[in-house]
Structure 1
Amino acid sequence: MAADPNFTNHVFEIARQIPAGRVASYGAIARFLGVANWSRKVGHAMGEVGGVEPPVPYQRVVNSTGRLTGGTSGIEHRAKLLATEGVTVIGDKVQDFKNVFWDPSKELNY
């Protein structure tokens, strides 16, 4: 089942606002959108970023503990993208997660 296009577009809109060098969680995006228990749906939406314009910085969205999710090659690619932005990832875990975490509910005024 495909994600609701409106929900997916809202997820993309929030993800595009995550500053380089910062990360947000699936759950934080879901909470900001008023559907706190939809973090998995946020993850499914992020799986649809291929070819979307303007691009969505999918590498900046991680799970609630700062881990990158997805297949091994995808995790490695996301870790490299984050490294170019100054975010350190060891294995599949964002280091200094508390300091690089970006919470849309505290940063955006919608």
Structure 2
Amino acid sequence: MRDAANRINLYMLQAVPQYTNSVQRACLTRFATEGNEWVTNTFHPIKAHFDKIPPRQRIDLRKRFPDLPPLPDDAPARSPVKVAFAIIAGIVAVVAAWLAVRRRKVRKAA
């Protein structure tokens, strides 16, 4: 884990200039700071760098890379309309199953 995290960190620093102050880098360092002394010595300076930057000034790379997964602190993107449609679809499925079972019982009885 620590070697892969370090390689990803170094590559992204070279490839993407905005990565230095990105939210994704802060997330990577949070996952990579759990470990032994080498991990602590490698990623604590990066964590100290992010502690100095206010969260609102951190750059979110998802605008440049839309396929990035959501961050752990992100709230799920739920709209009230989608939730309403999901509830209605669930109710319709339950009613359809109930009608199918009822129709089967009527046909067996006849």
Q: Which has the larger radius of gyration?
A: 2
Report the structure, 1 or 2, having the larger strand content: 1
Q: Confirm or deny a common fold (TM above 0.5).
A: no
Name which structure has the greater RCO, CA cutoff 8 Å, separation 6+: 1
TM-score (norm 2): 0.29
Report the structure, 1 or 2, having the larger helix content: 2
TM-score (norm 1): 0.29
